[in-house]
Structure 1
């Protein structure tokens, strides 16, 4: 999935229209066009933008992917990623209702993975509760950095474009909330923490 981002951008960069017809703009919601909520995730604004999201997906997607097993696990992981991206674009569209500025990039989906991973890091293969102090501290830190970067407008590959920090926040929110029920329904047992059958109290 991470490799697909620079690969798709290589095709996008060579297209005649830069695939802008696949971008999402908030005005699309008012005019009944919803395809861009998904297709905008396939686009990026520059090589740096695509590579940065690829690194983010690889880094934070790994602990999430390890939580699920088999073919069903792959489907659940991809569903989490795609739905986080759609929710991120939708949230951005509602905040900026009527705007014609295009939104591109998989950052919202990647932040969904970051949100999900926030409840896994330090959990020993298990999902930490939302009320965990570690989860709360990490979430506050992520959103503070996200808001500062968004408001300052400084990030690699931006090239003067506006950073959709609101989409990042919506994606993060989706991921951190969705990972709980998804783990309860689909997570496979982690062999590292399984007890062998017949385990009893140690004897001297």
Structure 2
């Protein structure tokens, strides 16, 4: 549903008088205090169809293992809250380290990277337990992802970027927050670890 919402929302965004950019986030606004809603609204906007496609693909790849941890209606609410918190953290993190940037920031990449950080802590854990933060496999994958993220952001090689600034810092903040939050989030929303499984065919765990 999150992946499907992205092209639908972008279709609506294109029809707004200003292309939706009045709802974007400006890093400098964190310090001026004049447009805090952009922390949330910006994650529902995108900079083009390529941007939409990349984030939708990321949602398809990394949302399922996280969503399976959170069953029933309570779990749906918990999953959506987790997604939004990671997105807000990514956007806020970008603002904190770029206080002089006035260019509009749009996209759900911070939230997608939050799902990625959480999903990697579940990698290969068929009992629903999380890999420790100091687990060598988690740390090595996180290091590779963050290195690629930094290089992509600094060099600007992302498809569809078209010269726009890539907010790699937002990706990094989202990833770290997702990796840190998934443990307490799982406990808060009543995950039944004994029944959890993440098989390769993406089917739901047994009830």
TM-score of the two chains, using structure 1 as the length reference: 0.91
State the match for 2:149 in structure 1: 146
Unpaired runs of at least 5, structure 1: 194-204
* Paired residues for 1:19-34 under 5 Å: 19-32=20-33, 33-34=35-36
* Paired residues for 1:1-204 under 5 Å: 1-32=2-33, 33-124=35-126, 125-186=128-189, 187-191=191-195
Aligned-pair distance for 1:192? 5.9
Once the two structures are superposed, residues 73-132 of structure 1 have per-residue CA deviations (whole angstroms, 9 ceiling, x without a partner) of: 111111111000101111100101032111000000100000110101111132111111
Are residues 23 and 191 of structure 1, via their aligned partners in 2, closer, same or farther at CA, if it must alter by over 3 Å? same
CA–CA distance in structure 2, aligned partners of residues 189 and 166 of structure 1: 33
- Contact 1:87–1:170 (8 Å) recurs in 2: yes
Q: Which has the larger radius of gyration?
A: 1
Q: How many equivalent residue pairs?
A: 193
Are residues 175 and 20 of structure 1, via their aligned partners in 2, closer, same or farther at CA, if it must alter by over 3 Å? same
CA–CA distance in structure 2, aligned partners of residues 192 and 123 of structure 1: 9
Q: Give the secondary structure class of the aligned counterpart of 1:159.
A: coil
CA–CA distance in structure 2, aligned partners of residues 52 and 188 of structure 1: 32
Aligned-pair distance for 1:31? 2.1
- Contact 1:25–1:103 (8 Å) recurs in 2: yes
Are residues 52 and 190 of structure 1, via their aligned partners in 2, closer, same or farther at CA, if it must alter by over 3 Å? farther
Aligned-pair distance for 1:191? 2.6
CA–CA distance in structure 1, aligned partners of residues 195 and 101 of structure 2: 49
CA–CA distance in structure 1, aligned partners of residues 120 and 12 of structure 2: 33
- Contact 1:127–1:183 (8 Å) recurs in 2: no
- Contact 1:30–1:98 (8 Å) recurs in 2: no
Unpaired runs of at least 5, structure 2: 198-207
- Root-mean-square deviation (CA, aligned residues, Å) is 1.2
Greater mean deviation of Cα atoms: 11-20 or 39-48: 11-20
Q: Give the secondary structure class of the aligned counterpart of 1:14.
A: coil
TM-score of the two chains, using structure 2 as the length reference: 0.90
